[in-house]
Amino acid sequence: MRYWLMKSEPSDVGIDDLAAMPGQTVAWYGVRNYQARNFMRDQMRVGDPVLFYHSSCAEPGIAGLAEVSRLAYPDETQFDPADKYFDPKATRESPRWLNVDVRLVKKTRLMGIKELRSHPELAHMRVLQRGNRLSITPVDPAEYAFILSRL
């Protein structure tokens, strides 16, 4: 089992949107970074715990807990010329981009980035490193347990 932090913009899909979706599940679409795609393709397994993180908003931070509910499969947005995530180099025979499905476990209080930064136990967390822009990052089991104890 691996632990993950997955960023989503609340203006696109926030924790409340996820809670309102059928089965409280969403396809984690639109990932256009090869390292993040490879995490989904090569390392994520059904049942892996996820820290659902709100990004690009007034108060970024962990907004809930989720889990991977479906293994990686082709991201349909890459094939739609009208979609902002369209990739003209992707084909159905050779898709370039993948997504996994993520299911809500529970909404939590918002554990903002300032609070995350205030704990020395989380100093090495990837989301807190300068220059980190990945939308999906692995989380150390000890970091995950520490966060869980504070939510």
pLDDT of the residue at 132: 84
Taking the C-alpha atoms of residue 135 and residue 115, their distance in angstroms, rounded to an integer, is 20
pLDDT of the residue at 93: 96
pLDDT of the residue at 131: 84
And the tokens for 122? 């989380």
Taking the C-alpha atoms of residue 68 and residue 46, their distance in angstroms, rounded to an integer, is 5
Residue 144 domain-assigned (yes or no): no
Taking the C-alpha atoms of residue 28 and residue 75, their distance in angstroms, rounded to an integer, is 8
pLDDT in tens, 52-91: 999 999 999 999 999 999 999 999 999 999 999 999 999 9
Residue range(s) defining the domain that contains residue 70: 3-139
Residue 146 domain-assigned (yes or no): no
Residue 149 domain-assigned (yes or no): no
Taking the C-alpha atoms of residue 132 and residue 142, their distance in angstroms, rounded to an integer, is 20
Residue 120 domain-assigned (yes or no): yes
Residue 81 domain-assigned (yes or no): yes
Taking the C-alpha atoms of residue 52 and residue 28, their distance in angstroms, rounded to an integer, is 11
Supply the DSSP string of 24-82, one letter for each residue.
GEEE------HHHHHIIIII--TT-EEEEEE-SSSS-EEEEEEEEEEEEEE-GGGG-TT
Residue 59 domain-assigned (yes or no): yes
Residue 116 domain-assigned (yes or no): yes
Q: Give me the residues of the chain with pLDDT under 50, please.
A: none
pLDDT of the residue at 74: 98
Q: How many domains is the chain partitioned into structurally?
A: 1
Specify the CATH number for the domain of residue 51.
Answer: 3.10.590.10
pLDDT of the residue at 133: 85
> Residue 21 has what DSSP assignment?
S
Helix (H) or strand (E) holding 107: strand 98-112
Residue 70 domain-assigned (yes or no): yes
